[in-house]
Amino acid sequence: MCNNIRMDMFPNESGPSGVHVWLILLKASQAIHKRLAAGLQSSGLCDSDFRVLELLLHKGAMPVNAIGPKVNLTPGSISVAVDRLHARGLVSRVESAEDRRVRLVDLTEAGRALIEPVFAQHSAQLEEVMGPLSAEDRVMLESLLKTVGRHAEAHGTVA
């Protein structure tokens, strides 16, 4: 047996334990996030602002209350982020033509001019990070992560 394989990684000799796989996933995620954060820093955008602008770039105008869940921000945090982006002239807020209670957030020309090259760089960085994986590996990884994510969501939280 190889010296670098610990027996606690294989609780039933069936493969790595759930804890071990989770730690590897966590470390990989942290390394990727660190790599991408360095790229964002030069743009002057924080992570939450980037997520909002990227969503609007790809999905178009959206109600404020629909943005938060899509970018994993609480209602209070999304309001602060939209206020910050609005103050910088990167997004507009207008009443919906169908329902005046709804405020739509959209990119301004300045917002689009900022996020398009930042997202292109972000996308290129992710291609570099995923470079070691073949197309088949990427499909398999995507499928495995979706399976684990759906399983975790289906079992909810433990009280």
Domain ranges of the chain: 19-123
pTM of the model: 0.79
Question: What string of H, E and C letters represents the secondary structure of the chain?
Answer: CCCCCCHHHCCCCCCCCHHHHHHHHHHHHHHHHHHHHHHHHCCCCCHHHHHHHHHHHHHCCEEHHHHHHHCCCCHHHHHHHHHHHHHCCCEEEEECCCCCCCEEEEECHHHHHHHHHHHHHHHHHHHHHCCCCCHHHHHHHHHHHHHHHHHHHHCCCCC
Domain 19-123, architecture per CATH = Orthogonal Bundle (1.10)
pLDDT tens track, the chain, 159 positions: 344 555 555 556 678 899 999 999 999 999 999 998 888 888 889 999 999 999 999 999 999 989 999 999 998 899 999 999 999 999 999 887 787 778 899 999 999 999 999 999 999 999 999 999 999 999 999 999 999 999 998 987 665
